[in-house]
Structure formats: structure tokens, C-alpha cells
Amino acid sequence: MNRVNARLKQVTQKQMACVAELAMLQAESFQLQQQARMKENMLEQCHIRLEKGEAPTAEMEVEWLQMVHGEQKRLADRESSQVVSSD
């Protein structure tokens, strides 16, 4: 009887550990599903903005404008250095 009780206790502990692990995995799965939904919504908004001729996101628009501004500055610097060197 003692062996049966010990075995039952051991099996119960393993089962409880499995249930706890399953609960953690379910929580992680739920979180990942939420993240996927958020990213799908963001992607949909990017497509809508692109169809309107806008940048996909405001952050991308800022980055693009900074890149264009930097390129224009480099061109202006190059032109001014060519004018100075040709004098």
C-alpha cells in the first residue's frame, strides 16, 4: 500500500508539473498571437498609407526625409568645394 501511495504521489507531482508547463506555454502562445495580430494591423495600415501615396509609417517618413536632407547637403558641399577649387 505504501508503494502504491508513493507511486501515486510521484505521478501526481509529474502531472502537476506538466499542467504548470502547459499553462506557461498557453500564456506564451496567447502573447505571441497578440503580437502577430498587432503586426498584421500595422502591416495593413502601412498598405493603406502606401495606397494613399504616403510613407508606410511616420518613422519611415522621418528617416527618409533625413536621408534626402543629408544627400542634398552632401551635394551642396560637393558643389561648393568644386567652385572653390576651380577659382
Q: Based on the number of CB atoms within 10 Å of its own CB, is 34 exposed (0-12), middle (13-18) or buried (19 or more)? A: exposed
* One domain for residues 64 and 82: yes
Q: Would you say 57 and 46 are in contact if contact means Cβ atoms under 8 Å apart?
A: yes
Q: Is residue 3 domain-shared with residue 33, that is, in the same domain?
A: yes
Measured CA to CA in angstroms, residue 2 lies from 5, 12, 14, 28 at distances of 5, 15, 18, 39
- Domain, as residue range, for 86: 55-87
Report the C-alpha gap between 66 and 70 in whole angstroms.
Answer: 6
> Based on the domain organization, do 34 and 60 belong to the same domain?
no
Instruction: For residue range 44-71, list pLDDT tens digits in order.
Output: 999 999 999 999 999 999 999 999 999 9
C-alpha 55: how far from chain center: 18
pLDDT, averaged across the chain: 93
Residue pLDDT, tens place only, 32-47: 999 999 999 999 999 9
